[in-house]
Chain A
Amino acid sequence: MKTLLIVEDNPQDELLIRRALRKAALANPVDVVRDGQQALDWLWREGEFAGYPDTGLPAVVLLDLSLPRVSGLDVLERLRADARTRLQPIVVLTSSDEERDRLTSYAHGANAFVRKPLDFAEFAEAVARIGVFWLMTNVGPA
């Protein structure tokens, strides 16, 4: 079963995403990293994740932009620059309403840009749709 990687430094948001995925009855394994560097290491099995079991690339990466250490946009750029993760489906999930962030994300190869709705119901709905689409509907490169 394809994994879903969440790159989110806010544990509360992580909980809310997990709950929304669960409410959508998606049983795929979910892994969470707290910053950009961990995200890169996880995907490339480097650093602290060097010895981590090779579960293959995730079906989709939910990437927040405001991340400690390496920012979301940098992560995006570096993943696209690396052959291993050049085709990795990535959805930017952020609370930013800035046009600049949106355009830059796409420019760096984001597959989708989703703003975290303030309202929790809308938020849960959005995460459920993302999960269903990328885990169930979409056919990945691998």
Chain B
Amino acid sequence: MSGRLQGLGWGERAVLLAALLVLVSGGLLWGVGSASTRTYTQYIASTDSLGRARQALTEARLGLARLSAREPGLDRNVVLAPLVRAQQAARAGLAGQSGLTTLAASQPPAGELAAEFAEFIRALDAFGLAALDADGLGAPGTALRLHRLWSEAERSADRLTERLSATLAGDVARERRLLALVVGLWLLFVVGGALLLLAAIRKDRASRLRLLASEAGQQALLAALGDGVFVVQGGCFVWANPALLTLLGYAQVEDFVGRDPAQVIAPEFLALWHPREHGAEEGLPALPGRCELRLLRRTPADAESGGGDGEVWVELHAVVAPFAGRPALIGVARDIGARRAALSAALARTGSFEPLPVAVDADAGADAHYLRRELYAQVQSNPAIFDFLQAGSLDGLWYWDLERPEHEWMNARFWRVLGYDPATKQHLAAEWQDLIFPEDLALAIDNFRRHCADARHPYDQIVRYRHADGSTVWVRCRGIAIRDAAGRALRMLGAHTDVTGIMRAEEARSAAVALAESERRLRELADSLPQLVWTCRPDGWCDFLSRRWVEYTGQPEAAQLGSGWLEHVYPDDRERLVAAWTAAVAGGHDFSVEFRIRRAADGAWRWFDTRALPLRDAQGRIVRWFGTNTDVQAARETAEALRASEARFRALLDQAADAIYVHDADGRLCDVNHRACETLGLPRATLLTMNVADVDPALPAAGLAFWHTLTPGESLTLRSRHRRGDGSDFPVELSVGAVEIGGERRLLALARDISERERAEAEIHELNASLEQRVAERTAELTAANRELDAFAYAVSHDLRAPLRAMSGFSTALLEDCAGQLDADGRAYLDQIIAGSRRMGELIDGLLALSRSTRGELRRERVDVTAIMARVREELEADEPQRRVHWQVEPDLHVWGDAGMLDAVFANLAGNAWKYTARTADPVIRVHAAEAATGFLCVCVSDNGAGFDPRHAGKLFLPFQRLHRQDEFPGLGIGLATAQRIVHRHGGTIAASAAPGLGARFCITLPGPQVASEEPES
């Protein structure tokens, strides 16, 4: 043995030692284990027996209770039968207990348990005997005794159970300690052996390799392996171990050797098997290091017929190694059928799922490159390759469970591209749906639905995600649905490609193109605008001036770029402009300044409204300033004119002596002048908050009716009363007109304080009243005087005439009755008395006529002058028939007036003419019409008689004034005065013209019928 050992290497010795140790410790362990197992078996049996006994005891007790309740159809067997079973079980337990052995010295004597069992059996016996002896189990006394006995049996059983449990627990604890000790020793031995073995391997690697290399050793080893092993040389299988033969259903190795791979490997995996085209070892398969594939399982008969009884999934590890002196491919195949079955079963729970088939093109075209095939195989078999692919070539990978759509697996890169720590993210679809742009999510969902419905529709779109830092991440997201046999999409596999850079570049390029385009358009636009247009760089440097600017300033653009344009700005405006521009550029805010620019054409400085806006890019940076200058010279002049006009208007308004109010339709005061404030004693600001009704309380009653009726330019005047701030009021005369102010209809009212005028008017009114009173009084006085005059005239006509009549009457009586008693002188004297009294009577009649001419009613009627003349002529000729006078009276002469009075007038004139032609040789009296003013009639009476001196014409119409001596032409001197009064009373005139010795002419002009009827008596 030792010699034999000495022949062994260090390693072999160590292995042998280790094996020995393992054997020794294993035997020890077995010994302990078997002893322990026996002990447990006994305990279990005892416990079981006790349990059965107790159950039976309980049944007995129940039976006793049923008997006590006198349940019909029962006898004492219902108690005794279970009791007998209980005794049997207890005795079985006691029998088992008596054989109980123990390993530990501290084990309580087995007799104790046996004694307890014996005690229990005794209790049962007592109970059973009592039950047998009892005549009537239902009798109270018996029942009580039985119950007591049963209780004792129960207590005994309890104690036994406790004891049994305690004993078992103690045993278990002890055995566990022992077992741990043994296992520890065994492990120590095993580890020690392994260490020895390892040390031996390390110490003597060459010898081990020699061992492995030896064909016999090698074959022995391979044959001993549990996994199937095969060897391929020269394109066919040359060897297989028993495990492989078993796996594939071959009875003997000879059946397998020499077979073509096509007979062993499933057709879809044959692509993996093709011999290398450029390999170091000709004829060896190009199998990867590790892969999963299916092998065909065959019997020898099947192999001949081409049939088979199935396939088996294996995990294949292949190495190239020398075998029997030549290079060979040695494959180790492990059956993974169970594992895959489990996976399929698991998947089947969620649907009939088949793993994605490895895509292998049937035709060996361009895609049939060996590297492609190799890669596919690698991917399929080597998780590291897939890991590399998913981590290295993609910007995110996701795998989505469409049946439970909340679940989605995303790889780490998925999140890193979006700027998130994968550890913080759960594998839930909701995680990314919060980050994608909503509109892009809609697109993705739309594509997803189409793709699910029709696999030909690609799930491929560029979407945007919000990066953790807020920026946008552009991702090309592609996916493919994985479907079941029915074509139902169950999973979705997707890949992300970060295209942010490309998109940014594209955006930048588009922006550049757009910028160029916008630049071109800007210039076109700038040149088409009526304004002067310019642009500046963000720093305020002018880089463009429109054609109009150049034309306006008359200097080429190049000379003005930068800040050259400033030369054309009015010097006084420059400082202000530059300050504003600098501030705008610095602050990046809108710019608006008005300044003057010189026009080259005429050298005029014109005002421009200059505005500029900063143009910003997407990031908000100013890229350019865009500015315009609008010529506001005309507007400024207009505004200036307007201001001046406004000022004039205001001055006019405030200088006006009258208060001026402007109000709107509702009476709200819009404007008032200084005078208005003054008269009302209120400040302008207060007035402008008031209504016209506050100033003119009477106005609302009128309802501002004229608001609607007044047209612009029209005005109306009315009187009202205005109320001052202190509540007092005063009369005003209002002149109200409608005006348009700023396109709004307004009423403008001029109010003039007419307190003074009203006072004056009141005075005048009072004065008039007193005057009328005086006139009335005076009229009354005059009326009274007239009445007195009437009475006087009446009295004169009666009372003055009576004495005259007496004087002339008695004188006549004296002459007639006593003529004989008087001498010639006496008679002559009496004649003088009679003549005197006659003349006196004539004077009285004249006075009465004069008096009557101004009294009495004046009638208006047509008066025929021709007829009057004819009558007067007859009377005169009758009085003095000896006279021959030539009358020339026009026919149809007439005037309008009081017939009686005018008769007297014309009779008087005709009488005068008759009288004053008495001494004329060929007297002629003419009565004729003459020219008169419109509406008047003129009749003249002229003669060729004595006439009169025109110097005395003024005295003609005075009463009792005569221009001739009484002895020449007798008369009273009262006729023309009466005539003039009558003519005047008619509203007419009487005129006389004459020369001494050449006759006289009297013309009477009287109103015609129209005028006469309108002319009041004056």
Do A and B form a real pair? Answer: yes
- Flag if B805 contacts A118 (CB, 8 Å): yes
Contact of A95 among B797, B811, B812 (CB under 8 A): B797
Contact of B794 among A12, A98, A116, A119 (CB under 8 A): A98
Is B798 part of the contact surface with A, judged by Cβ < 8 Å?
Answer: yes
Is B799 part of the contact surface with A, judged by Cβ < 8 Å?
Answer: yes
Those of B794-850 within 8 Å (CB) of chain A: 794-795, 797-799, 801-806, 808-813, 834, 837-838, 841, 845, 848
Q: B802: which A residues are within 8 A, CB to CB?
A: 10, 12-13, 95
Interface centre among A19, A118, A124 (most CB of B within 10 A): A118
Contact of B806 among A13, A65, A96, A98 (CB under 8 A): A13
Contact of A118 among B794, B804, B811 (CB under 8 A): B804
Q: Which residue of A lies closest to B811 (CB)?
A: A120
Q: B809: which A residues are within 8 A, CB to CB?
A: 12, 16, 120, 123-124
A38 to chain B, nearest CB (A): 19
- Flag if A116 contacts B805 (CB, 8 Å): yes
- Flag if B806 contacts A16 (CB, 8 Å): yes
Contact of A12 among B797, B810, B811 (CB under 8 A): B810
User: How many Å lie between the Cα of A65 and that of B808 in the bound state?
Assistant: 22
- Flag if B799 contacts A66 (CB, 8 Å): yes
B819 to chain A, nearest CB (A): 15
Is A121 part of the contact surface with B, judged by Cβ < 8 Å?
Answer: yes
Is A82 part of the contact surface with B, judged by Cβ < 8 Å?
Answer: no
Is A48 part of the contact surface with B, judged by Cβ < 8 Å?
Answer: no
Q: A97: which B residues are within 8 A, CB to CB?
A: 797, 845, 848
Those of B113-128 within 8 Å (CB) of chain A: none
- Flag if A96 contacts B841 (CB, 8 Å): no
- Flag if A98 contacts B805 (CB, 8 Å): no
Is A94 part of the contact surface with B, judged by Cβ < 8 Å?
Answer: yes
Count A-side interface residues using an 8 Å CB cutoff.
19
Q: B803: which A residues are within 8 A, CB to CB?
A: 12
User: How many Å lie between the Cα of A121 and that of B804 in the bound state?
Assistant: 13
User: How many Å lie between the Cα of A66 and that of B802 in the bound state?
Assistant: 11
Q: A19: which B residues are within 8 A, CB to CB?
A: 813
- Flag if A121 contacts B812 (CB, 8 Å): yes
- Flag if A16 contacts B797 (CB, 8 Å): no
Contact of B812 among A10, A65, A66, A120 (CB under 8 A): A120
Q: What sequence of 0s and 1s flags, for each residue 71-96 of chain A, a beta carbon within 8 Å of any chain B beta carbon?
A: 00000000000000000000000111
Interface centre among B795, B797, B809 (most CB of A within 10 A): B809
Interface residues on B, range: 20 to 34
Q: A124: which B residues are within 8 A, CB to CB?
A: 809
Q: Which residue of B lies closest to A66 (CB)?
A: B798
B790 to chain A, nearest CB (A): 9
Q: Which residue of B lies closest to A101 (CB)?
A: B794
B813 to chain A, nearest CB (A): 6
User: How many Å lie between the Cα of A116 and that of B803 in the bound state?
Assistant: 12
Q: B798: which A residues are within 8 A, CB to CB?
A: 65-66, 94-96
Contact of B841 among A16, A65, A118 (CB under 8 A): A118
Q: A19-B813, A118-B838 are in contact. Are A95 and B801 (CB under 8 A)?
A: yes
Q: B813: which A residues are within 8 A, CB to CB?
A: 16, 19, 120
Q: B797: which A residues are within 8 A, CB to CB?
A: 95-98
User: How many Å lie between the Cα of A60 and that of B838 in the bound state?
Assistant: 30
User: How many Å lie between the Cα of A65 and that of B799 in the bound state?
Assistant: 11
User: How many Å lie between the Cα of A94 and that of B809 in the bound state?
Assistant: 16
Q: B812: which A residues are within 8 A, CB to CB?
A: 120-121
Q: Which residue of A lies closest to B799 (CB)?
A: A66
Interface centre among A12, A116, A120, A124 (most CB of B within 10 A): A120
User: How many Å lie between the Cα of A10 and that of B807 in the bound state?
Assistant: 13
- Flag if B808 contacts A118 (CB, 8 Å): yes
User: How many Å lie between the Cα of A16 and that of B837 in the bound state?
Assistant: 16
B243 to chain A, nearest CB (A): 184
Those of B554-599 within 8 Å (CB) of chain A: none
- Flag if B848 contacts A123 (CB, 8 Å): no
Q: A96-B794, A97-B848, A98-B794 are in contact. Are A118 and B806 (CB under 8 A)?
A: no
B670 to chain A, nearest CB (A): 75
- Flag if A12 contacts B806 (CB, 8 Å): yes
B816 to chain A, nearest CB (A): 9
- Flag if B805 contacts A13 (CB, 8 Å): yes
Contact of B838 among A94, A116, A119 (CB under 8 A): A119
Q: What sequence of 0s and 1s flags, for each residue 780-796 of chain B, a beta carbon within 8 Å of any chain A beta carbon?
A: 00000000000000110
Q: A123: which B residues are within 8 A, CB to CB?
A: 805, 809
Interface centre among B805, B806, B848 (most CB of A within 10 A): B805
Contact of A16 among B801, B805, B845 (CB under 8 A): B805
Q: What sequence of 0s and 1s flags, for each residue 105-142 of chain A, a beta carbon within 8 Å of any chain B beta carbon?
A: 00000000000101111011000000000000000000
Interface centre among B794, B795, B845 (most CB of A within 10 A): B794
Q: Which residue of B lies closest to A100 (CB)?
A: B856
User: How many Å lie between the Cα of A119 and that of B803 in the bound state?
Assistant: 12
Q: What sequence of 0s and 1s flags, for each residue 53-65 of chain A, a beta carbon within 8 Å of any chain B beta carbon?
A: 0000000000001
User: How many Å lie between the Cα of A123 and that of B803 in the bound state?
Assistant: 14
Q: A120: which B residues are within 8 A, CB to CB?
A: 805, 808-813, 834
Q: Which residue of A lies closest to B793 (CB)?
A: A98
Q: A10: which B residues are within 8 A, CB to CB?
A: 802, 806
Q: B794: which A residues are within 8 A, CB to CB?
A: 96, 98
User: How many Å lie between the Cα of A124 and that of B798 in the bound state?
Assistant: 18
User: How many Å lie between the Cα of A12 and that of B804 in the bound state?
Assistant: 11
User: How many Å lie between the Cα of A94 and that of B802 in the bound state?
Assistant: 10
Those of A1-56 within 8 Å (CB) of chain B: 10, 12-13, 16, 19
Q: B795: which A residues are within 8 A, CB to CB?
A: 66
User: How many Å lie between the Cα of A95 and that of B803 in the bound state?
Assistant: 11
User: How many Å lie between the Cα of A132 and that of B834 in the bound state?
Assistant: 27
A34 to chain B, nearest CB (A): 14
User: How many Å lie between the Cα of A13 and that of B810 in the bound state?
Assistant: 10
Q: Which residue of A lies closest to B848 (CB)?
A: A97
B861 to chain A, nearest CB (A): 16
B676 to chain A, nearest CB (A): 69
A8 to chain B, nearest CB (A): 10
Known contacts A10-B802, A95-B805, A97-B848; 6 additional CB pairs below 8 A are: A95-B798, A98-B797, A118-B801, A118-B838, A120-B808, A120-B811
Show 23 residue pairs from A and B whose CB-CB distance is below 8 angstroms, ordered by the A residue. Answer: A12-B802, A12-B806, A12-B809, A16-B806, A16-B810, A66-B795, A66-B798, A66-B799, A95-B798, A95-B801, A95-B802, A96-B794, A97-B797, A98-B794, A98-B797, A118-B801, A118-B805, A118-B841, A119-B808, A120-B805, A120-B808, A120-B834, A123-B809
A residues contacting B by CB (< 8 A) are 10, 12-13, 16, 19, 65-66, 94-98, 116, 118-121, 123-124
Sorted nearest first, the 3 A-B pairs with minimum C-beta distance are A120-B809, A12-B806, A118-B841
